[in-house]
Amino acid sequence: MPQATTAARIHIAVQPKIIYPGTPVALLSTCNPDGSANLAPMSSFWILGWSMVLGLGRSGQTSANLVRTGECVINLPGPDLWQAVERLAPLTGRNPPPPHVEAYGGRFRRDKFRAAGLTPTLSESVAPPRVAECDLQLEARVVAQSSLAHEADCAAVEVRILRVHASPAILVADRRHIDPTRWHPLLYKFRRYHGLGPELGRSFREGR
């Protein structure tokens, strides 16, 4: 068995409060029962082809909306929107807020687009609006849901992406493909916001 030769190869068993080694941020828009739009930040998802799996808490308004309507838009913000994302972070569309939300200081807000300073724009294949300020917007429909074995209040929700909207600013010259040198996601690493560079700011929940 190879032997470690430098201090850099020494590891220590740790128990972080949360395991987010570096994931993109998404803003998930859904429709409330009264037809208004709900908007919630999330950073647990992965994509394969045109299928996407969302990791969501079951007690939130977003999950309730997805169960009822089966539709959403996954809006992907860039680093310039981290403060808008953070303005959304303590807000919930549930009234009264779930106990775990109240426990970390969360509060109800009906118009979350306004609270975040973001602009809703009509979607083409689903009812929830897109976020105009996000350079990438994915309209999607729910196709399956499953429980997580060790996270009782969480679910894995599989959606099928129906339509992709992209800002011309992040496209290659033929406007058919996304230019990865122009598209820069907002990243969430251990409750801190980053772009593809230095730290931008910290989540209000970092020390909780």
Q: Where are the domains of the chain?
A: 23-202
Quote the pLDDT of residue 184: 94
How far, CA to CA in Å, does 195 sit from each of 48, 68, 118, 124?
Answer: 23, 34, 19, 29
Quote the pLDDT of residue 3: 59
The CATH H-level superfamily of 23-202 is: Electron Transport, Fmn-binding Protein; Chain A (2.30.110.10)
List, in sequence order, every residue forming a beta bridge with 165; answer none if it has no partner: 137
Q: Which residues of 92-120 are buried (b: 16+ CB within 10 A; e: fewer)?
A: bbbeebbeebeeeebeebeebbeebebeb
Instruction: For strands 107-108 and 91-92, give the pairing.
Output: parallel
Which residues in the chain show pLDDT less than 70? 1-7, 207-208
Quote the pLDDT of residue 1: 56
Model confidence, pTM = 0.90
Quote the pLDDT of residue 170: 95
d(CA 54, CA 43): 9
